[in-house]
Amino acid sequence: MKHVDYFNIIQKYIPVNTQTYKSYVIHVTLVTAEAVRIAKNLNLSQEQIDFIIEASMLHDIGICRVEDYKLEFGGDLPYICHVSEGAKILRKEGLEKHALVAERHTGVGIYKEEIIEKKLPLEIKDYVPLTIEEQIISFADMFYKKSEGKVWYKQTDDEVRKEISQYGDNHAKILEEKFKKFKI
């Protein structure tokens, strides 16, 4: 497997001298460390772990195109679009597997029925982590935020449960399955 220079890609889309870069790098580094811990506990191969490192470091790259970061980047898309925009960026970089992680990493997933029901500005399809690597990264990501003041804080299991439960019983049930699978 050819290794990806993820810092080169990050710096191509998020300038180093911005607050977004500082928050981004802290967030993805913490998510990466958590994802690698889980992967090692599950005895994944070194090749899988290497991919998890790269994809974790790049999973949120699409934030450079959303309105939450408008002051620094001029993005005008709703935050949820960071998944589809991140996938576009990584596909442009020739990283299809990494793009799937960016597209599918949100919570326990977003289902096409939810996109229709909530009129989310996403292509109507499931955005659900499928591979073990995608599942591990999305699980690890739930514990860390990018928001200022919370970037270093790891949410507790109960805080993650509370956050995910607001999306319905199905999401809460899937989360519990992930806890059983990944909390060793």
Q: Per-domain residue ranges for the chain? A: 6-182
pTM for this structure?
0.93
Give pLDDT tens digits for 144-175.
Answer: 988 777 778 899 999 999 999 999 999 999 99
CB 47 within 8 A of CB 133: no
From residue 32, give the alpha-carbon distance in Å to each of 9, 24, 113, 118, 144. Answer: 16, 12, 30, 30, 11
Radius of gyration of the chain (CA): 16
Element (H, E) at 83: helix 82-92
Query: What phi, psi does 142 have (nearest 5°)?
Result: -65, -20
The region, left, alpha or beta by phi > 0 then psi within -120 to 50, assigned to residue 67 is alpha
Instruction: Name residue 136's amino acid.
Output: I
pLDDT at 104 over 60: yes
Burial level of 92, CB count in 10 A (0-12/13-18/19+)?
exposed
Give pLDDT tens digits for 14-44.
Answer: 999 888 898 899 999 999 999 999 999 999 9
pLDDT at 135 over 70: yes
The CATH number that domain 6-182 falls under is 1.10.3210
pLDDT at 129 over 70: yes
Whole-angstrom distance, CA of residue 41 vs CA of residue 49: 11
